[in-house]
Amino acid sequence: MNGVISRKPELLAPAGDAAALRAALDAGADAVYFGAGSLNMRKRARNFQLGDISDVAAACRESGAKAYLTVNTIVYENELDDLERLLGMAVDAGVDAVICWDDAVVHCAGDRNLDVHLSTQASVSNSRSIIQRYRNNGVRRFVLARECSLDHIRMIQSRLREQLGDEAERIELEAFIHGAMCVSVSGRCFMSEAASGESGNRGACLQPCRRQYRIIDVEGEYEYELGRDYVMSPKDLCTMPFIEQVLESGIASLKIEGRMRSPEYVSVVTGAYRRAIDFWHDHVGDSVEPSAERSEFEILKAELTEELRTVFNRGFSSGFYMGKPVGEWTKGANSQATRRKETVGVVVNYYRKVGIAEIRVQGASFGIGDELVIQGPTTGNLVLNVESMQVDHGEVKSADKGMHVAVPVPRRVRVNDAVFRRFDITGVLS
């Protein structure tokens, strides 16, 4: 153990909409990052409206979590007034920080005494960049470039202490620990803009890199497919197998990518890392000796890694943490998740006194023993196993399309919540 670890890091989760926000908070996120309006890097996410910023911040405060507003696109000249308005609303809402990298946003936030978290788009990857931004702009948190290895992070921490002494404690490093990775440097890519006019640096990437490509020679005589790999589509980052090394590095905030992902994804991934972080700090911590707790932690990591495989993924990679990844390309265009879900229907009533949800089956049928997922803006992501069900007060074993069925639920759900059946994939993943 290198002695850097001193406190439990923040677990930072994504929220692309209200249901994902609730899922993140219920799963134990210490902080949530979200976009509102157009000046964020996930334009195609459902996102929040400008008028929702105060509601998001309030929901986070009620859960004891922090709210970070992403304003991390490049900003054009004709958008400066929009920027002023957006940051003014962020101040009024009590947002805890703004994630950004355009100097206009950095300065505008600083003028309003809004904390700035410098986005990974800035590609901060060394101590000199950090010290310059800290001294000149007052930035105290830096989302490190995706290309930083664990060795780089340790060196950065060491150099900051050498250069700043005790003042280095004021600076926080943030890093991604799970989710999609981009083939381009820190996500600054022009491929989508060139191919379709939809800029990745404006949050509108159409992800042409995720496709399979064919090469045709200029004479038109030969044609090649680039093997079975999608050579511009990296596997997803997953640090769970070596999460203790990330914790020991002294990173202040561990970030999950996924504002385009479902509430189910947010719930599973946030919950898994919550359990791992808590177990490490509660039972292992600074101990360097072999112990039953360390052995138990290894078992837990393996279980949680398999749990992470149940939701959307392109296969898992250690990213750049262990050095430059070689050949870490996904094998297909679709998710490699070991579980899938299909639409069942909607909640049409909730009977609070008996804890029963009435579900109108509009799609797939389900039965005793099946796993249901109920999702909604206030409900978040609720997972339950069907142990009993009734139609017209009579016990039944299955429910088909067109039926109204009563199912016990462990906590409150809401009318119009979406209901899904979740099941294991057998055979070859599609």
CATH of domain 10-182+236-316: 3.20.20.70
In this model, does residue 223 exceed pLDDT 90?
no
Res 392: pLDDT: 93
Measuring CA to CA, how many Å separate 86 from each of 12, 26, 40, 213?
22, 27, 11, 40
Q: Are 198 and 206 in contact (CB under 8 A)?
A: yes
* pTM, to two decimals: 0.86
Bigger pLDDT: 426 or 250?
Answer: 250
Q: Are 22 and 29 in contact (CB under 8 A)?
A: no
The domain covering 339-424 belongs, at the CATH homologous superfamily level, to Translation factors (2.40.30.10)
- The mean-pLDDT minimum among 119-123, 227-231, 271-275 falls in 227-231
Residue among 341, 343, 387, 392 nearest 367 (CA)? 387
For residue 113 the two structure tokens come to 């005494």
Domain regions of the chain by residue span: 10-182+236-316, 339-424
What is the residue whose two structure tokens read 């799609």?
363
Bigger pLDDT: 40 or 33?
Answer: 33
Res 220: pLDDT: 66
